[in-house]
Amino acid sequence: MVVVDANVIIHGRADQRFSQAFTVPEVLEEMKSSEASMKADLLDLQVQRPDSEIFEQVQSKSEEIGAATSETDEKLLALALTRKDSLVTDDKDLQNLGLHLEAEVEGFLEDRIEKKLQWISVCSNCGREVSTPPCPRCGSQQVRRKLD
């Protein structure tokens, strides 16, 4: 079995590698078009919630590495870890977070990333590393991510 992201359902084709999959309720809420809903219905999609402790671990790791992942992304990864299944997604930030947590991650339409990345927040004005705005050096409110 696999856990699938919304992009797998939306961009799925008839020749998919699987006919059954798991996802979280929030992914189904993202299915706004009737075509996407129909594809979700054809996939024999089982909806589950992840273990809350594993979800907290995923959120913690996401914050630690500066990942640009949503709560829905983090729930998907937590579900894959809870079930010990592979996560299928083309979301590179989510794949990266999965690699940091030693999860099995697969790409769908694209190859998965191979290298773990980590970001830090820096002031857009002076370049100093900051945890939250404003910058203690120059007072700027603008912060950007930079590879560590």
Q: Is the pTM of this model over 0.75?
A: yes
**Domain 2-106 class in CATH:** alpha beta
How confident is the prediction along the chain (148 residues), in pLDDT tens digits per residue?
899 998 888 877 544 677 789 999 999 888 777 777 777 777 778 999 999 999 999 999 999 988 889 999 999 999 999 999 999 999 999 999 999 999 999 998 888 888 887 778 889 999 998 988 899 999 999 988 877 7
Q: Where are the domains of the chain?
A: 2-106, 118-148
CA 124/CA 74 separation, integer angstroms? 27
Count other C-beta atoms under 10 Å from residue 21's C-beta: 21
The residues near 60 (Cβ < 8 Å, ≥ 6 apart) are none
DSSP conformational letter for 42: H
